[in-house]
Structure 1
Amino acid sequence: MGTNPFIGVIFHWIGGFASATNFIPFRGIKRWSWEVYWLVQGFAAWIVTPIVLAYLFVPNVFGILRQVHADPTSHAIGYAFLWGALWGMGGLTFGLAIRYLGIALGYAIALGLCTAFGTLIPPIYDGSIHTILHETSGQIILFGVLVCVVAVAINGAAGLSKDREITPEEKAEAGESDYNFGKGIAVAIFAGIMSSFFAFGLKAGKPIGDIAKTQLLANHRLDLWQNLPILIVVLWGGFLTNFIWSAILILKNRSIKQFAGEPGYNPMRASHSSGDTLVDFDPLDASTYDRLAPKTLAANYVFAAIAGIIWYFQFFFYSMGQTKMGKYDFSSWTLHMASIIIFATLWGLIFKEWHGTSRRTKLLVSSGLILLVGSTLIVGYGNYLKAN
């Protein structure tokens, strides 16, 4: 289909919306511990959905993976898996960043750092940064990355201002009873750096995508799906890390029985005094103390699975957008991250995370949002110049 940066930006926006939205179903999960619903959503996001969609869109997808694995000169699968496992550490702590900072600020700080590292380190590593610096289109793209980072800094300032202004009661009303700016910033920094390794995994898996593209064209299908097999391998690595940590927490907290209906602690929209979710716990109903009702338990599985499926679609559309960006497809990472922060900020406004803050704080949030939108347009324009 060829290069089309405008369509690529649209795909990245859709992927960003999916990523920013995947935490919403978690709000419907009742009295499950974090490690329980995180493992359920992870299995849906990192194992089931990538395999199913790649199988549907890419001919002989498992044959492609076997071919790459059998090639003694190729280390694509091993490196893609390794980077995925390192990225998984960022995914683990990313959930905590959202818990401590809220959706809007947690996404902004973690993904801001993820943007800078994930965008710039790959071209620095392979040496293409020199070409980028000496071409007008490349300079415009890097300017767009800079605008994105500035926007993230403004969002961080807004979060610090918010922390000083709103009361504990207002934080609880917005679902942020665990809000902690200092702890959240530390976790978000680590999550952002480690999460950037996903971009490295996609680059390491490029030989897989090249073979998939050949197969797609040979079968008269769109090469838009060429990166779906890479996602399978990278996400296997991410799932391994998350599975190990979730299993450790399940054993430590003895929460394995929650899979069958024993109530647990849900850190999102939860009460500190009882550890029970505010939207589900009824102190006048003794039946809510001991076990989850079958319908509630089934709903928990559904909500967690939906969260995982929505999460995967961020990279489903990212992989398509990347194929449309042309030579400087490294900029896809900036577009993706900026889009996530844009929609996360909008969700934060919808859920009144900034309710009760001053006009100055709201102005900072609005300015950050406008700059983020501008950064995606600047990066898209730079790719358009290069494509033409």
Structure 2
Amino acid sequence: MAIILLGLLFHFIGSFSSASFYLPYRSVRLWSWENFWLLGGLFSWLIAPWLAIALTIPAFASILEAADSGTLGWTYFFGVLWGIGGLTFGLAMRYIGLSLGMSIIMGLTSALGALMPPLFNDLFGREDGLRLSQMLLSSGGQMVLLGVLGSLIGIVLCGVAGMRKEREVDLATKQSAVQEFNMKKGIAVALVSGCLSACFSYGINAGKPLALAAVAHGANSLFMNNLTFAVIMLGGLTTNALWCLHLSLRRRSLGEFVNRNTPLLRNYLLCALGGLLWYLQFFFYGMGESRLHNPTSSWVLHMSFIILISNLWGVCLGEWRGTAPQTRRILLLGIVVIIAAIGMVGFGSAVH
């Protein structure tokens, strides 16, 4: 049980980082979105992951050299798709804020990312990963799946509260919390982001041989996923860097990086902090998954904690100011359901 609690703690820390990463970006001044997103991405998708594997994975270069091209190719490919999800994630935060944006995106990501990999393993007979049939036949697996359902119900309730907020709050109040508020654009990009962000889970599943090879070469199992994450994030960096550079060139905004009329040092540090927080979610996610030994439960816990924390941030930032008491009660109910679901997933993992 102590190992399970440690896994839960790691997932909570990672989710707190994920739910908080955009806050430093909100304080960047006089820079275009594409520039601070690109700079933060260099820290989160390139600098931090490769520094992490250099510190935690012995002989990582040899592992990559010996890896099957299909493993590397699919892991990178899912990273590219996940990168599009991350790109639209940032846009969703701009248009509809933390609370509603996180609820929609994480709802889709949670369901697809948790259930598709074990279903894939069943359909294609993979023996090196968790299979859905195994979960259905064990009491612990059934509890985890019930927790998945509970989590989705809680996320839907948070989404319902967000929709009610849209009807109740005037535009001036919305824009005081989310300056570029645009409901139609926000919902559209959030749906795209939710579907494609789940590809990170598919990348972890595709890159499982890399994690096993890391352990075989002497890496601590606590950090076994770091090499897989680095390959996935190269895919994410490819997508985001190309798009952000395209926007910067089209808008002629690259000069902001050296414009002394902007708070350069402050902006660089804020972007570095935002990027580091974004990466730490996966660093601690990998540690949590290594202790729970159940990718489905780990994914759901991660997403549920993110929803929980991001909605609390939304309350602190005033995104729910001006809503009716009934709307806030629905939000609270959704948070309570998510907390209960987290407990079910944790218990199911312990007896799985």
TM-score class, shorter:
over 0.9
Q: In structure 2, what residue type is equivalent to 1:365?
A: L
Gaps (5+ residues) in structure 1? 262-290
Q: In structure 1, what residue type is equivalent to 2:181?
A: Y
* Other-structure match for 1:252: 250
Match of 2:118 among 123, 131, 148: 123
Structure with higher Rg: it is: 1
Q: In structure 2, what residue type is equivalent to 1:31?
A: L
Match of 2:270 among 303, 315, 318: 303
Residues 114 and 295 of structure 2 are in contact (CA less than 8 Å); yes or no, is this contact kept in structure 1?
no
Asked whether 1:216 is paired with 2:218, we answer yes
Asked whether 1:313 is paired with 2:280, we answer yes
Match of 1:292 among 228, 252, 261: 261
Residues 46 and 232 of structure 1 are in contact (CA less than 8 Å); yes or no, is this contact kept in structure 2?
yes
CA drift of 1:215 comes to 1.9
List per-residue Cα deviations over 1:112-157 (Å, max 9, x = no partner): 1000000011111111212211221111111111111111111111
* Other-structure match for 1:8: 7
Report the secondary structure of 1:75's partner residue: helix
2:62 & 2:29 partners in 1: Cα distance?
41
2:33 & 2:313 partners in 1: Cα distance?
21
Gaps (5+ residues) in structure 2? 123-130
Asked whether 1:107 is paired with 2:102, we answer yes
List per-residue Cα deviations over 1:228-261 (Å, max 9, x = no partner): 1111100001100101111111121111111111
* Other-structure match for 1:189: 191
1:67 & 1:298 partners in 2: Cα distance?
42
List per-residue Cα deviations over 1:289-337 (Å, max 9, x = no partner): xx624xx1121111011100011000000001111112x3222111111
1:141 & 1:113 partners in 2: Cα distance?
17
Report the secondary structure of 2:217's partner residue: helix
Q: In structure 1, what residue type is equivalent to 2:63?
A: I
CA drift of 1:105 comes to 1.2
Match of 1:144 among 127, 144, 147: 147
Select between 43-52 and 242-251 the one with higher mean Cα deviation. 242-251
* Other-structure match for 1:269: none
* Other-structure match for 2:237: 239
Residues 227 and 319 of structure 1 are in contact (CA less than 8 Å); yes or no, is this contact kept in structure 2?
yes
C-alpha spacing 1:309/1:82, structure 2 compared with 1 (3 Å): same
CA drift of 1:9 comes to 1.4
2:315 & 2:264 partners in 1: Cα distance?
30
CA drift of 1:3 comes to 9.1
1:342 & 1:156 partners in 2: Cα distance?
12
* Other-structure match for 1:381: 347
2:183 & 2:253 partners in 1: Cα distance?
28
CA drift of 1:67 comes to 2.2
List per-residue Cα deviations over 1:326-384 (Å, max 9, x = no partner): 2x322211111111111111111111110111101110111111111111111111010
List per-residue Cα deviations over 1:70-125 (Å, max 9, x = no partner): x4xx5211111000001101001001111111111111110110000000111111
* Other-structure match for 1:266: none
List per-residue Cα deviations over 1:44-88 (Å, max 9, x = no partner): 0000000111111221222222221xx4xx521111100000110
More helix by share: 2
Residues 168 and 177 of structure 1 are in contact (CA less than 8 Å); yes or no, is this contact kept in structure 2?
no
* Other-structure match for 1:48: 47
1:48 & 1:184 partners in 2: Cα distance?
30
2:176 & 2:247 partners in 1: Cα distance?
28
1:104 & 1:347 partners in 2: Cα distance?
8
Residues 216 and 226 of structure 1 are in contact (CA less than 8 Å); yes or no, is this contact kept in structure 2?
no
C-alpha spacing 1:3/1:323, structure 2 compared with 1 (3 Å): farther
1:200 & 1:380 partners in 2: Cα distance?
22
* Other-structure match for 1:63: 62
Report the secondary structure of 1:131's partner residue: helix
Asked whether 1:94 is paired with 2:89, we answer yes
CA drift of 1:209 comes to 0.6
Residues 6 and 384 of structure 1 are in contact (CA less than 8 Å); yes or no, is this contact kept in structure 2?
no
Sequence identity, in percent? 38
Asked whether 1:173 is paired with 2:176, we answer yes
* Other-structure match for 2:127: none
Report the secondary structure of 1:344's partner residue: helix
Residues 3 and 323 of structure 1 are in contact (CA less than 8 Å); yes or no, is this contact kept in structure 2?
no
Q: In structure 1, what residue type is equivalent to 2:343?
A: L
Report the secondary structure of 1:357's partner residue: coil
2:217 & 2:163 partners in 1: Cα distance?
51
2:133 & 2:278 partners in 1: Cα distance?
34
Residues 98 and 310 of structure 2 are in contact (CA less than 8 Å); yes or no, is this contact kept in structure 1?
yes
* Other-structure match for 1:286: none
1:323 & 1:346 partners in 2: Cα distance?
28
Residues 12 and 302 of structure 2 are in contact (CA less than 8 Å); yes or no, is this contact kept in structure 1?
yes
Count of equivalent residues: 344
* Other-structure match for 1:358: 324
Q: In structure 1, what residue type is equivalent to 2:236?
A: G
Select between 100-109 and 165-174 the one with higher mean Cα deviation. 165-174
* Other-structure match for 2:125: none
Residues 140 and 349 of structure 2 are in contact (CA less than 8 Å); yes or no, is this contact kept in structure 1?
yes
Question: What RMSD, in angstroms, separates the aligned Cα atoms of the two structures?
Answer: 1.5
Q: In structure 2, what residue type is equivalent to 1:40?
A: L
* Other-structure match for 1:38: 37
Q: In structure 1, what residue type is equivalent to 2:226?
A: L
TM-score for the superposition, normalised by structure 1: 0.86
